[in-house]
């Protein structure tokens, strides 16, 4: 399983570059605006926020994921697939596609 982590601003597709100097993490953690709805108004940020919310909902619907074991079953430059197995025999297949070609 492992523990999912959302780093400061990840859910809004915020980015920053870590610098090799004292305080170099500052750009990685930009200040969030007081009104977060301004971030959600950006189409890219709205999509990433939707994906994060969907994954949180998936984890809440399947509490067995907390103790599940994950095994990578495929890996290419643009695709990765995993099989997640619960102690009670539950199975979840996960595929990540980072290719530029959309598909349904």
Residues 69 and 55 in one domain: no
Q: How far apart are CA 9 and CA 13, in angstroms?
A: 7
Q: Specify the pTM.
A: 0.69
Residues 78 and 33 in one domain: no
Residues 37 and 76 in one domain: no
Residues 10 and 55 in one domain: yes
User: Is pLDDT above 90 for 19?
Assistant: no
Percent of the chain with pLDDT over 70: 92
Residues 83 and 104 in one domain: yes
Residues 54 and 83 in one domain: no
Residues 43 and 78 in one domain: no
**Cα-based torsion angle of the residue sequence 75, 81, 85, 90 in order, rounded to the nearest 10 degrees:** -160
80, 72 contact by CB (below 8 A): yes
Residues 57 and 72 in one domain: no
Phi, psi (degrees; rounded to nearest 5) at 22: -60, 135
Q: How far apart are CA 39 and CA 45, in angstroms?
A: 6
46: Cβ–Cβ under 8 A, 6 or more apart, which residues? 40
Which range of residues forms the domain containing residue 37?
1-61
Residues 42 and 70 in one domain: no
Please give the residue that has the higher pLDDT: either 86 or 41: 86
47: Cβ–Cβ under 8 A, 6 or more apart, which residues? 13
Tally of domains in the chain: 2
What pLDDT digit, counting tens, does each position of 40-78 carry?
677 888 888 888 899 999 999 999 998 999 999 999 999
């Amino acid at each position: 399983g492992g523990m999912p982590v959302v780093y400061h601003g990840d859910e809004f597709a915020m980015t920053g570059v870590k610098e090799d100097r004292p305080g170099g993490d500052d750009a990685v953690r930009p200040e969030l605006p007081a009104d977060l709805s301004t971030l959600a108004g950006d189409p890219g940020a709205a999509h990433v926020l939707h994906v994060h919310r969907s994954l949180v909902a998936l984890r809440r619907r399947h509490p067995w994921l907390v103790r599940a074991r994950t095994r990578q079953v495929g890996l290419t430059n643009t695709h990765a697939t995993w099989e997640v197995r619960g102690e009670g025999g539950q199975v979840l297949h996960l595929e990540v596609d980072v290719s530029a070609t959309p598909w349904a």
